[in-house]
Amino acid sequence: MKAVLAQMERLFLLSPLIWTLLGIFNVPGGKAVLSRLIPVVVVYCLVRFKGQWRLNLARPEFKRFAVISGLLLLFLTAQHLLRGESLSFARTLLAVLLYLLVVPWQRFTLFTLTRLCALGGIAIGTGAVYEVMFRNVFRAGMLAVNPIPYATFGAIILLSCLCALLSSSTVNHRDKALYLLGACGAITAVILSGTRGIWLGVLVALVITALISIPRWKKKAAVFTIIGTILLAGAGAYTLDDRVYTRYLQTQAELKKITADNLNTSIGIRLQLWERGLDYFGQSPLLGTGSRHYPALIKKDVEDGKITKRAAPLADAHFHNQYIDTLVRTGLVGLLLLLAWAALPAKQLFSNHGTLARNISISVFSLMLVAGLTDVPFHHTHLVYVYGLLLGVLLLTATPRQKLEHKD
């Protein structure tokens, strides 16, 4: 009976992480469930595991991550109170930080996380096929969230599963199959999302993943990875259809329109938004123009012919570039804090930890850097949950010079 209760408690403690990886990108309104689930688990842990937050903060790498998270949280809260910026990122970051602080992560291993990532890949791949084949949705991800963050999440899962395959020479056959299925599901979702920016991000991140993983290969791992890659490519080709080719033709057509001075295309609109965003940033470099003020500037730019009427409304949401969008809203200070928060886990894990944790963190961070060129990943709080929890749990479960053995 005690063993059953212990397993139930483990599932309860992991439930926010499980739902993040399996639920919020597949179920409409899934993020609302997570925002209610985390406080319940946090309160339980504060009562059940008193002082656990001290033990977690005793880990130097996580303490640094907690500190930079706290600084970013304070800055965003001040921006909200003084300048009316959205509080959604700050609220999400607070929930992530509290959850990471109070859970006894010493009860879990790094491979608990990678297995959950694999299950997340299977779930999102199944959901993508369901949306496209049974609900006749052209771009997977439109029913639950948005194709762009949906594809970004799929890419994060793909990289995590591939790193787990490449980094460890002691993965048992069950876990190899699980990681491969997770990778196949994830790449299926990425392809069916039709998101060109993430396709580019995945290619760059895969090159980086290969460069940092290949020196660690063993013969058996290399053979299995080659076989897995063939199977992965086969699964991708099966679901590929003409989606990539269609997007290629669309890109060609948009480029032709741009050369003919027609900027009312997906790419053309982005070019307009980037140009105007940089101009607004130049007017207030340190703390940005702010969300309250730049709509008036856009209205004037429409009147002056500097931006088209079709592009102007989209700027009210964001500027389709993480760096420019952050510079406009919160200035250079905000961008530096955001980049420090995003980069610190990869730096910490690269310096002090075993191969698997290092590879996942570097691969995922690389993906987010490239994805930020054409979209705003951290504008979508779904991805703030995913990135914050994934990298935070890596910091709390990876051990120095970790021996990559699949044991739980």
Q: What is the DSSP secondary-structure string of 219-241?
A: HHHHHHHHHHHHHHHHHHHHHHT
pLDDT of residue 402: 44
- Residues ≥6 apart with Cβ < 8 Å to 18: 11, 116
Cα 148 to Cα 167: distance, rounded to the nearest angstrom: 28
Which residues, in sequence order, are CB contacts of 38 under 8 Å at separation 6+?
A: 16, 95, 98, 99
The type of residue at 324 is I
In order of 90, 134, 291, 350, 368, the CA distances from 373 in angstroms are: 22, 33, 20, 24, 9
Quote the CA–CA distance of 8 and 24 in Å, as a whole number: 22
User: Which value, to the nearest 10 degrees, does the dihedral of the CA atoms of residues 322, 328, 329, 330 take?
Assistant: 90
Q: What is the pLDDT of residue 403?
A: 43
Render each residue's pLDDT in the chain as its tens digit; 408 residues.
778 888 999 999 999 999 999 999 999 889 999 999 999 999 999 999 998 999 999 998 899 999 999 999 999 999 999 888 889 999 999 999 999 999 999 999 999 999 999 999 999 999 998 998 888 888 888 888 889 999 999 999 999 998 888 766 567 888 888 998 999 899 889 988 888 888 888 888 888 877 776 655 555 555 565 555 555 555 554 555 566 666 666 666 666 666 656 566 777 788 888 888 899 899 989 998 888 888 888 888 888 777 887 777 666 678 889 999 999 999 999 999 999 999 999 998 887 655 889 989 999 999 999 999 989 999 999 999 999 999 999 999 986 554 444 544
Query: Among 229, 116, 233, 218, which Cα is nearest to 167's?
Result: 218
- How far apart (Å, rounded) are the C-alpha atoms in residues 182 and 185? 5
Gyration radius from the chain CA atoms: 22
Residue from 392, 365, 386 nearest 205 by CA: 365
Name 353's bridge partners: 400
- What does the DSSP 8-state code read for residue 49? S
Residues in the chain, overall count:
408
Kindly provide the b/e burial profile for residues 5-20, where b requires at least 16 CB atoms within 10 angstroms of the residue's own CB: eeeeeeeebbbbbbbb
Q: How many CA atoms lie within 13 A of 40 on its CB side?
A: 11
Q: Are 327 and 376 in contact (CB under 8 A)?
A: no
Give φ, ψ of 170 to 5 degrees.
Answer: -115, 20
Name the DSSP class of 133. I
pLDDT computed for residue 355 by the predictor: 80
Identify the CA nearest to 372 among candidates 149, 159, 206: 149
Q: Which residues contact 34 (CB under 8 A, 6 or more apart)?
A: 16, 19, 20, 23, 24, 385
Per-residue model confidence (pLDDT) at position 352: 60
d(CA 241, CA 402): 42
* Residue 181 CB contacts under 8 Å (≥ 6 apart), including other chains: 118, 121, 122
